[in-house]
Structure 1
Amino acid sequence: MKPLLSDITVNGKKIPAELIASEAQNHPAPKSKPGMAWMAAARALAIRTLVLQEANRLGFEPDPQQVAEGKVETDEEALVRQVLDVALDPPAPSPQSLRAAYDAAPDRWRAPTLYEAAHILFPVKPGDVVALAKARAAASAVLTQLQRDPRAFGGLAREHSACSSRDNGGRLGQLISGDTVPEFEAVLDALDEGSLAPEPVATRYGLHIMRLDARAQGAVLPFEAVAPRIAEMLEKAAWVKAGRDFVARLARDAEVSGITLVAAA
């Protein structure tokens, strides 16, 4: 069996294991599977090497451009961009493809959902296990009181909540999709109107006792209103596919050892 941390070569160009290990820090992976980060880093460096070799074959000279205020491309970044500018030219989506994408999933193209909700926040800093345990005990005790007497929500929010909404009895006013963190919004979508979440809800801010007062799901938007967004989505997908196809063509013609870039036919 090959050792995981080994050099790879691309058309005779060696990519040292040390460089791959350094690049792996930029590729998240589960703690139990560090090899996934290493493999992702190895693939990324191998692909970058293939593209730079293609730039050399085409005789390109780097032409760095400013990409943000005070930030200019490196020579290698410029060469990669120049190659991709020449190699990738996916067709624009047709009117028929836009309509087909809309008709395939019209529910995807809705106006934002409106919510009226209230919460009681028990703050916890990420990673603070001791504070989380204390907050969970406190939140569970308050939730038990509310399950016995839901009308006590406002008073308990004023007494316990760390959010400024406590001054309004925990009421958050009208929210729309995207106003809150995903885990909070997921509970708003799952609750029945007028009900409490059965357990404290964990987010990056801490634990929340949540109540949904009202929800109005956004209507499906007409095709004409969302056609530009669908076009943008399809254009991005076409660029991604064109990039993958281009890399696959380079890899098929390359001599690569230490990693597999092309799946077996």
Structure 2
Amino acid sequence: MNAALFPDLIVNGETVPHTLVAAETQNHDAPAGKPGIAWRKAANAVAIRTLLLQEARARGLKPERKEVAPDKFETDEEAQIRGLLEMVVDPELPEDDAIYAEWKKDPSRFRAPPLWEVSHILCACDPRDEKAKHDAMHRAEALIPLVGKDAKSFAVIASRESDCGSKSSGGTLGQLGPGDTVPEFEAILRHLDEGEVTPQPILTRHGWHIVRMDAVALGAVLPFAAVKPKIAEAMEKASWARQAQKFVQKLVASAEITGADLRSV
């Protein structure tokens, strides 16, 4: 992306280096061949960050970095922005009646974790090796017409072709719940109905999978008392987000900005 093609981002007289906006573009989607869209999204994000940092410095806030993961700490700028928002945002704590009303809208949203009974065929490869990935994908694609919909035929092919140790049991992985597998494999399970086989191979860090959902047990609907704290937390976070957005809108309204369009913020 040629940054020279795009206008300078200037926030209240402070010129933001093009390199900062360019680095931010990796966090924003855009159609192929239209880098200007990603640039504009990135410029808006950087403009908001710059406004928040300017306000934090104007208030004399010193960065007090917190540990966000083991041995990983915030940057000074992240700490300043967090400190500012902690100062100006005071989310409303939801009343019990409001929490109950939110639950009552659709209690079926709040369930115990599901259980999936799953079989699979693995065509193993290192996804970082393009040739190996390509070859394994074609091998998996050739197997899909052979497995059919029947559990027995799937087990026969799995026991002969799978690269997973589960081949000895016809590819069955037994009962799985959330968190029992890698996230990309779990994502497959959440979209399969009982008896369904993935129509195309699915790639994970282990290779290409053909997956059969042998059985699904949806978790029971949880009583209000069990989910009340979770609903209250979600409502408090939503209140925090609304107030933070209002604060940003206030900063934008009084700012002089060129190179970004924050009218819809």
Query: Do both proteins adopt the same fold according to a TM-score greater than 0.5, normalized to the shorter chain?
Result: yes
Given the superposition, is the C-alpha separation of residues 197 and 79 from structure 1 closer, same or farther in structure 2, using an over 3 Å criterion?
A: closer
CA distance in 2 between partners of 1:31 and 1:124 (Å): 30
- 1:23 aligns with 24
Distance 1:102 1:182, change over 3 A: farther
In the alignment, residue 101 of structure 2 is paired with which amino acid? Answer: A
Deviates more, 1:180-189 or 1:110-119: 180-189
CA change 1:4–1:252 in 2 (3 A) is farther
* Letter of the structure 2 residue corresponding to residue 202 of structure 1: I
Output aligned runs, 1:136-155, within 5 Å. Answer: 136-147=137-148, 151-155=152-156
Residue 92 of structure 1 pairs with residue 81 of structure 2? no
Counterpart residue identity of residue 15, structure 1: V
Alpha-carbon offset, residue 177 of structure 1: 3.7
What is the CA deviation profile of residues 32-60 of structure 1, one whole-angstrom value per residue up to 9, with x for unaligned ones?
143333223212221122122222333x1
The 5-angstrom pairing of residues 51-130 of structure 1 reads: 51-58=52-59, 60-68=60-68, 69-126=70-127, 130=131
Stretches of structure 1 that go unaligned for 5 or more consecutive residues are none
AA of the residue aligned to 1:166 = K
Change (3 A) 1:131 1:7: same
Write the distance in 1 (CA, Å) between the matches of 2:76 and 2:147.
62
| CA displacement, residues 112-133 of structure 1 (integer Å, 9 cap, x when unaligned) | 1212121111124436564455
| 1:223 aligned partner | 224
**Aligned residue type for 1:118:** S
Q: Percent identity?
A: 39
Matched, 1:241 2:217: no
Query: Post-superposition shift, 1:220?
Result: 0.9
1:226 aligns to what SS in structure 2? helix
| TM-score after normalising by structure 1 | 0.83
| Cα pair 2:137 2:201 within 8 Å, conserved | no
Q: Is the CA contact (8 Å cut-off) linking 1:117 and 1:171 kept in structure 2?
A: yes
Q: Deviations over 1:13-35 (max 9, x none)?
A: 1113333223323x132461433
**Structure 2 vs 1, CA of residues 117 and 251 (structure 1 numbering), >3 Å: closer, same or farther?**
same
Aligned CA distance change for structure 1 residues 37 and 198 (closer, same or farther; 3 Å): closer
Q: Is the 8 A contact 1:115 1:214 kept in 2?
A: yes
SS of the counterpart of 1:9?
strand
Is the contact between residue 125 and residue 208 of structure 2 (CA under 8 Å) also seen in structure 1? yes
Q: Which residue does 1:5 correspond to in 2?
A: 6
**Aligned Cα RMSD in Å?**
2.9
Cα–Cα, structure 1 residues 152 and 89, in superposed 2: closer, same or farther, change >3 Å? same
Output the amino acid matched with 1:169: G
Residue in 2 aligned with 1:201?
Answer: 201
| Structure 1 pair 14–207 and aligned structure 2 pair: CA distance change class (3 A) | same
Structure 1's 144 and 84: CA in aligned 2 closer, same or farther, altered over 3 A?
A: closer
The 2-side partners of 1:148 and 1:217 are apart by: 22
Map of 1:167 onto structure 2: 168
Q: 1:211 to 1:188 in 2, by over 3 A?
A: farther
Contact 1:158 1:166 in 2 (8 A): yes
Q: Could you say which residue in structure 2 is the equivalent of 1:36?
A: 37
1:209 and 1:56, CA in 2 relative to 1: closer, same or farther beyond 3 A? Answer: closer
For normalisation by structure 2, the TM-score amounts to 0.83
Letter in 1 for 2:264: A
How many residues align? The count is 258
Q: Any idea what SS the aligned residue of 2:232 has?
A: helix
Q: What is aligned with 2:262?
A: 261
1:140/1:199 contact within 8 Å kept: no
TM-superposed CA distance for 1:109, in Å, is: 0.6
